[in-house]
Amino acid sequence: MLPRKPLASAVLAISFVTLLYLVELIDVLLPVNLDGYGIVARSFDGLDGIVWAPLLHADWQHLFANTGPVVVFAFLAMAGGIGQWLMVTATIWLIGGLGVWLTAPDLTVTVGASGLAFGWLAFLLVRGVFSRSIAQLAVAFVLLALWGGMLWGVFPGTPGVSWQGHLFGALGGVLAAWLVARADRSRSAVSS
């Protein structure tokens, strides 16, 4: 399913990625290490990194690797409207960040938007199950065929890659899909 307002959704998805590029450019140009503001595992000083980490990237290659999935999944996740997308994104952002803060190796700093990408992908894959929507299940099957290999990123394996961010971002996406389906059922029951 495509977003109800495809142009506005595309503009928002591209604007978010543009923000990521601007932040990386500032990080490169200024004598400030913005990456240090990421999530610092189990450090109370590092809790505020939950807010900043998805906006920060270790380098240009890290950002390039996240760009495609972030644009595509953010856009598709807006099918329920931009307000719903904001709730879904906030859920993924918070659950993903807290999961990283709790489980990453001591005092490591985690940055990157891949947790959001994994969360949006998980949301898109399971929302049809929770909402019992054939159209959403069809989108999930196409996404699984095209991007399913990405799901291996929720397991430990690649040094320097936060599988914790991927795993907890995905769990945040599943929770968001459940919350959206529950809210939709409540609205349907009230209007009946």
DSSP codes joined into one string, the chain: ---SSHHHHHHHHHHHHHHHHHHHHHHHHSS--GGGGSEETT-GGGTTHHHHGGG--SSHHHHHHHHHHHHHHHHHGGGG-HHHHHHHHHHHHHHHHHHHHHHSSTT-EE--SHHHHHHHHHHHHHHHHHHT-HHHHHHHHHHHHHHGGGGGGGSS-STTS-HHHHHHHHHHHHHHHHHHHHHHHHHHHHH-
Q: Is residue 1 one of the residues assigned to a domain? A: no
* pLDDT tens per residue across span 60-88: 999 999 999 999 999 999 999 999 999 99
Mean pLDDT in the chain?
94
**Which residues are within 8 A (CB) of 106 and not within 5 positions of it... i.e. 6 or more apart?**
41, 42
Q: Is residue 153 one of the residues assigned to a domain? A: yes
pLDDT above 70 (res 28): yes
Residue 129's CATH number: 1.20.1540.10
Q: Is residue 143 one of the residues assigned to a domain? A: yes
pTM listed for this prediction: 0.94
Using CA atoms, how far apart are residues 39 and 53, in angstroms rounded to an integer? 6
Q: Is residue 75 one of the residues assigned to a domain? A: yes
Tokens for 32, please give them.
Answer: 């400030």
Tokens for 148, please give them.
Answer: 């399913």
Q: Residue 160's domain spans which residues?
A: 6-191
Q: Is residue 108 one of the residues assigned to a domain? A: yes
Lowest mean pLDDT among 20-29, 89-98, 153-162: 153-162
Number of domains in the chain: 1
Crossing angle for the helix pair 82-103 and 6-29, to the nearest 10 degrees: 40
Q: Is residue 16 one of the residues assigned to a domain? A: yes
* pLDDT tens per residue across span 131-169: 988 989 999 999 999 988 888 889 898 888 899 999 999
* 180-190 mean pLDDT: 84
